[in-house]
Amino acid sequence: MSCEKLYLTAPEMLECTARVVSCTPNKNDGYDLETDRTPFFPEGGGQLSDIGTVYDPMQGFVPVTHCFEANGTVLHRTEKPFAVGEIVTLKVDAAKRLKYTQQHTGEHLLSHAYDVLFGAENVGFHMAGDVVTIDLDHDLSDEEIEAGEKYANELVWKNAPVRIFNVDASELPNLPLRKKNEKLHGEVRIVEVEDGDHTEMCTCCGTHFMSTAPVGLIKVLEHARYKSGCRITFACGVLALEHFTKENAELRRTAAALSVKPDGVFDALARKEEQVQGLNQKLREKNAQLAKLYSEKLHAEAQENFIAAYLSVDFDACKTIAETLCADDNFSAVLFCNESDRLRYICARGKNGALDCRAAAQKINVLLGAKGGGSPVTSQGSCPKTAETEQKLREILSEPVQNLN
């Protein structure tokens, strides 16, 4: 028995009664329901499937979570079974259908725009949740992307008629299709949008409006080079509004945090960045001064050009101090410091220093249960900071030459 596909013949009909033809268990602990007619669009042509409900008096409203086409009929994925022959009511989620149709008709207009303006062919259309993309075989500039977006929106604002009709595949070579497909056979569905001398026409199985105005708005969100062309992420209608609402809320929240109006956020952030760079420069200067003071103190305390010490600085400063000390070709140093909940160390030596840093790291790893390593000239590592490791570190530093050399 063939299924009457109302989404093709009467797309405005989102609810109907139907007779159950079959209902079989699937591999997902659910059921695949077949009816003699349906308003549900099955996934295909880049468009997501409709969702909604199936109703019968005994079970109430049962969710339809997915639809797909198999052997010419439409199967509805449900959580509960239905008896063959019973009459049920199928109802499509109207909000989802509107959103999906806006994206699909909008995709036709956007693809048409880039084809007319730049000869860029659509080689892929993807709809995954709220992420909608087209792939073009040309890599377009920012200015070209904006020009295509404007062209497509002008078609929306004109409320151009959309015509849907069927032809035999043998007639396709005679039609001004945007994209040819020689593999099609039998009856083929055509979607046409009036655009003066550049009428948009292509084969399509998806849902569409009867004119372009219900698309509402087409907004390109981003574009990037993809393979030999580019991938354009866009949103239409309800989805575009959702993106705008979210981004506007983020903009206003950022503006409030910066105590400026939304149109002043960029300049305020630029000033903040300049301030941060100035502070970072001062911090680097202070760290350099601190490293110099520490180095002078440690150099004075060193025995036989060697020092081991536990410093109250961060690891970056610890490395700077080690580098400063070992600018003396004959000097060697093993320095420890805290970083968050870890104990870190660095071993370093000058060009003629006596310390084997790799061997020293291995000894520290064994004594502290640390992990790390390096070369004979420099090494580093870390371990969890605990009362036990701090006690062992004190023992190491009590006789550093014996424990580390």
Q: CA of 202: how far to CAs of 51, 74, 261, 288, 373, in Å?
A: 26, 23, 46, 68, 64
Band the pLDDT of 1: cuts 50, 70, 90. Answer: low
Same domain for 240 and 131: yes
Same domain, 86 and 103: no
- Decide if 187 contacts 167 (C-beta within 8 A): yes
Same domain, residue pair 237 and 109? yes
Q: CATH code at 83? A: 2.40.30.130
pLDDT at 179: 86
The predicted structure's pLDDT at residue 374: 95
Instruction: Report the mean per-residue pLDDT for the chain.
Output: 94
Strand 332-339 with 306-310, pairing: parallel
Q: Is residue 271 part of a domain?
A: no
pLDDT category, 184, cuts 50, 70, 90? confident
Percent of the chain residues past pLDDT 90, beyond the cut: 84
- Is the pLDDT score of 311 beyond 90? yes
The pTM of this model reads 0.76
Residues 218 and 350 in one domain: no
pLDDT at 372: 95
Average pLDDT over residues 156-180: 93
pLDDT value of residue 283: 87
Residue 167 within any structural domain of the chain: yes
- From the list 98, 14, 123, 112, the residue with the least C-alpha distance to 48 is 98
Residues 74 and 106 occupy one common structural domain: no
Asked if 145 and 54 sit in the same domain, the reply is no
- Give me the residues paired with residue 187 across strands: 168
Cα separation, 359 vs 252, in Å, equals 57
User: Per the structure block, which two tokens stand in for 215?
Assistant: 């698309």
Alpha carbons 335 and 346: distance in angstroms, whole number: 5
Boundary (domain end) residue, out of 208, 224, 255: 255
- Say whether pLDDT at 403 is over 90: no
Domain limits at 237? 98-255
In a domain, 65, yes or no: yes
Kind of pairing between the strands at 229-236 and 218-226: antiparallel
**What's the average model confidence in pLDDT over 369-379?**
95
Domain assignment of residue 283, yes or no: no
Q: Phi and psi for 182 in degrees, rounded to 5?
A: -80, -5
pLDDT at 291: 83
Asked if the structure places residue 365 within a domain, the reply is yes
CATH number at residue 181: 3.30.980.10
For 202-252, the pLDDT digits (tens) are 999 999 999 999 999 999 999 999 999 999 999 999 999 999 999 999 999
Looking at the structure, tell me whether residues 118 and 83 fall in a common domain.
no
Cβ-Cβ contacts under 8 Å for 363 (sequence gap 6 or more): 403, 404
Same domain, 82 and 160: no
pLDDT for the residue numbered 239: 96
Residue 45's pLDDT band, with cuts at 50, 70 and 90, is confident
Give the pLDDT score at 290. Answer: 84
Mark residue 84 as left, alpha or beta (left: phi above 0; alpha: psi -120 to 50; beta: remaining).
beta
Q: 14: part of which helix (H) or strand (E)?
A: none
> For the chain, what is the domain count?
3
Beta bridge partners of 374: 379
| Domain boundary residue, one of 30, 63, 92 | 92
Question: Which residue among 43, 69, 92 closes a domain?
Answer: 92
